[in-house]
Amino acid sequence: MAEDQIEYYKAKYQTIEDLPGVGPATAAKLRENGFKTVEAVATATVSELVVSGIGEATAEKIIEAARKSIAFTFVRGDELVKLRSNIRHLTTGCPSLDQLLGGGIETQSITEFYGEFGTGKSQICQQLCVTVQLPYDQGGLEGGALYIDTENTFRPERVIRISSRFNLDPQDVLKKIIFAEAYTSNHQMVLLENADEIIKEYNIRLIIIDSVTSHFRSEYVGREMLASRQQTLNKHLHKLIRLSRAFNAAAVITNQVMAQPDVFFSKMVQPVGGHIIGHTSHSRIFLRKGRDNVRIAKLTVSPYLPEGEAPIKITERGVEGEEYA
C-alpha cells in the first residue's frame, strides 16, 4: 500500500472472511460472484448480494461493516478535509496542462478528456500510464495503471518511447500497466466490476477507460434506448468513482465527440443513491486541433478551478507542454 493511502484507507478488515457475519459458505458465494475483497463488498448494493444467494439481512450487515471498515460512510466536515488532504495530483508530463488542472489529474475523482478523433485523447492516456509510475517528488503516484481499451489503440511501443523520456526503464513500466480490451459495453462493465483485486495487487493508482462511450454509443441506438444507456453508463461511472476513492487513484476516461461538443455527460454525475457518493466530482477537458501537431486543451468543467486553456503538442516524445507563442 502506498504511504499516502494509509490514513484514508484504514481498513479494519483485510479479507472478506474478517467481516462479521461472513462464514466460509458466505465467503464462497461472495467470491464466486466476484466480491473478492472488502472494497468490492463495500461498493456492492444489497440487491447484488441477494442475487448472489446471500440473505438480505446478512447482505445489509456485511455491506455496512465493509463500508465502515474503509471509511465510506458519512463524514464530518473536518474529516472530509482530512480525506481530501489525501488527494494527490498526477502530472500529465505537460507543465501547461498540469497548470490548467491545478497541478495535474486529481485522485479520488474522474477526469474526462473529450474531443474529436485524433485530438490526442489516447496519447494522453498512454503518457499517464508512464507518469503515474514516477516518484511523488516528480509528480507521479508511485503506482501502476489499469487500462481498459475499447478501441484497440493502446500501443506498448508508444509507452516504451515515453518511458525513456521520463528516464524510466520501459520494461519495468510495462510490467506495471495492466491492460484489458473490452469487446462490448457489458464486457467493459464486468472488467471494472472485477477490478478490485487487481488494483490492490498491482498498487494501481490510475484507472483509464479509453473510450468510455464508444460501445455504449454503438450498442444503444435510438431515442428509446437513451434512458437505459444513461442508466447503465451511470452505474459504470459510479463504480469507477468508488474505486478511485477506495484506492486514492486517479480515474481518466475519454469520450469522442463530433465538432460540436455534446452533452453526453452533463447529467451523468448526480449520485444515484446519494448516500455513498456525497461529493462526486468530475473534471472535463475539451481537446481541439490547432496547427500541425498542436492541440488546445480547454478545462470546461471543474469542481473548483476556473475555466482556461493550455496548448500541448503531440510529438515523437509523447505529449508535451507548449508555451503560447
The listed partner (ligand ATP, Mg ion, none) that binds 231, CB under 5 to 8 Å by sort, is none
* Footprint on residues 128-167 left by ligand ATP (CB under 6 A): 151, 153
Q: Which of 118, 156, 278, 303 binds ligand ATP (CB under 6 A)?
A: 118
Q: Are strands 294-301 and 308-315 parallel, antiparallel or unpaired?
A: antiparallel
* Footprint on residues 219-258 left by ligand ATP (CB under 6 A): 256
**Beta-carbon contacts of residue 254 (< 8 Å; ≥ 6 apart):** 112, 113, 114, 121, 122, 125, 208, 209, 210, 211, 212
Site string for ligand ATP, 306-325 (x = CB under 6 A): --------xxx---------
End-to-end CA distance of the chain: 43
Q: Which has the closest alpha carbon to 288: 113, 40, 65? A: 113
Q: How far is the CB of 255 from Mg ion (least distance, A)?
A: 10
Q: Which of 122, 150, 163, 302 binds Mg ion (CB under 5 A)?
A: 122
Q: Is 123 in the site for ligand ATP (CB under 6 A)?
A: yes
What ranges in 70-131 are assigned the alpha helix state H? 77-85, 95-100, 121-131
Tell me the number of residues near Mg ion by CB under 5 A.
Answer: 3
Residue 124 has φ and ψ, to the nearest 5°, of -60, -45
Residue 188 has φ and ψ, to the nearest 5°, of -55, -45
Q: Is 131 in the site for Mg ion (CB under 5 A)?
A: no
Q: Is 121 in the site for ligand ATP (CB under 6 A)?
A: yes
Q: Is 213 in the site for Mg ion (CB under 5 A)?
A: no
Number of Cβ within a 10 Å radius of residue 178: 18
Please give the DSSP secondary-structure letter assigned to residue 9. T
Q: How far is the CB of 258 from ligand ATP (least distance, A)?
A: 11
Q: How far is the CB of 145 from Mg ion (least distance, A)?
A: 16
Q: Is 119 in the site for ligand ATP (CB under 6 A)?
A: yes
